[in-house]
Chains A and B, each alone.
Chain A
């Protein structure tokens, strides 16, 4: 299949304005869901106590959003732009290093 040629504009993650929405809200580039904030509706967010963390990677694998990534120090942390606050990481963490705290905005 020919590669899609689109007039994709560079966008700042999370800042898509109404004028930039594509005609009919069509999606013209594959994988553009990375620009869509899905962490909007969480009521609690995970906070990691790195002193307790043993870098076991379980939270990374269990997160259903795939939003936990390795930090440069080798620890694991959620990208709150996508984290939906389900608390699975906190439940699975064997070191109880993750606490779910109220998301207050």
Chain B
């Protein structure tokens, strides 16, 4: 029987990659991802994990090595954050377009300048369009579970795509939480060995990474889009099966105390935990407020979103990144677009906050909700507001 124990989330994430029998780990250390890859290096060095650990000189090389590993059919894991994710940016597109499954945990961190090692989602938003499946988790248990699910989703014959698991740097990576590591035999039952259908093999040579002329590029890209869209149903299937075996439920958009809520707050990642406490407080005060936690970011869960907001008057979206000179929060902007054609839809109010490790407290979430309700009534001169900035 798996037992719950106090574990640093980074260590638990490394353990999850080990439980999943990762064959190859290639990574370059960067704060706040470091503990994950250090732990894996230890596991490989002391023989607990029988994997090839490829130390590289940069994240660009790490992702390239992962692509090579996946191309021969190895189960591949990596992790990065912020500038590291940006440095591998161009290679991320190659991994997804060439349909190489792998799991990468991103310890979400703000992008420079100024240099900030602290958390926000600007790194995640910068890789939004890279064609990866992307899941945001809010605590250590979710991180562990979704690393395991990530392999299963990405390696499914109907999917064959890389998967990014976003977990907040420090707020998650460096905290000790009660975490239940699943038993190895249960993980083995849940996650069959990886068999890539067209691996690099001298017996059956193939060309990977050929030139795609204007004659074929559109067909390749459309196939990629349809394939990623279809990955949603497989993700749901895998989460359901995970629930059956391990008793923990996951869905694209989690609802918290949304029954009868006229006002909904939407968050992603670890700040959702504080937001839940704030919602409890507001519910206690008699306010009809509920929380939505967006977990599946790519492929975007359109139907699920439309369903969960249909009875609300106001939807307040918190973004932890800015799309400069544009719509402000990228998540809010997508949500507005997703609901634009709906006959009945809530007023959507965008906030940006929690940048570069700035905390949002319980009182802070209350303030955001109250201001959001006020804007819904009186309007605002701005496209979006920023929370907690000093004049």
Contact = CB atoms under 8 A, between A and B. Distances in A.
B99 A24 contact: yes
Contact of B213 (A22, A26, A37): A37
B156 to A, nearest CB: 13
B219 A17 contact: yes
A16 interface: yes
A26 B206 contact: yes
B98 A25 contact: yes
Given A4-B204, A28-B206, A18 B99 contact: no
Contact of A27 (B203, B207, B223, B226): B207
A17 B226 CA distance: 13
Interface string A9-44: 000001011110111111110000000111011000
Given A23-B99, A38-B213, A40-B214, A18 B202 contact: no
B159 to A, nearest CB: 11
Contacts of A4: 204-206
B205 A1 contact: yes
B219 A2 contact: no
Given A2-B204, A38-B215, A26 B223 contact: no
Interface residues of B, number: 26
A17 B207 CA distance: 19
B77 interface: no
A24 B219 contact: no
A5 interface: yes
Interface of A: 1-2, 4-6, 14, 16-19, 21-28, 36-38, 40-41
Contact of B212 (A17, A18, A25): A25
B208 A24 contact: yes
Contacts of B197: 23
A37 B216 CA distance: 8
Interface string B151-194: 00000000010000000000000000000000000000000000
Contact of B100 (A24, A25, A37, A38): A24
Given A1-B202, A5-B204, A18-B219, A25 B214 contact: no
A22 B375 CA distance: 51
A16 B210 CA distance: 16
9 contacts: A4-B206, A21-B220, A23-B160, A24-B99, A24-B208, A26-B198, A27-B207, A27-B210, A36-B215
A24 B98 contact: yes
A interface majority secondary structure: loop
A14 B215 CA distance: 8
A92 B99 CA distance: 45
B162 to A, nearest CB: 12
A16 B198 contact: no
B219 A21 contact: yes
A51 B207 CA distance: 45
Interface string B53-71: 0000000000000000000
A25 B215 contact: no
Contacts of A1: 202-203, 205
Contacts of B206: 4, 26-28
Contacts of A27: 206-207, 210
Contacts of A19: 223
A40 B210 CA distance: 18
B318 interface: no
B340 interface: no
Nearest to A5: B204
Interface centre among A18, A19, A24, A38 (most CB of B within 10 A): A24
Interface centre among B100, B205, B214 (most CB of A within 10 A): B205
Nearest to A41: B214
Contact of A36 (B99, B216, B226): B216
Interface centre among A2, A21, A41 (most CB of B within 10 A): A21
Question: What 5 pairs between A and B have smallest CB-CB spacing?
Answer: A27-B207, A37-B215, A18-B219, A24-B98, A24-B99
Given A24-B208, A25-B210, A16 B219 contact: yes
Interface centre among B204, B215, B226 (most CB of A within 10 A): B215
A18 B198 contact: no
Contacts of A38: 213, 215
Contacts of B214: 40-41
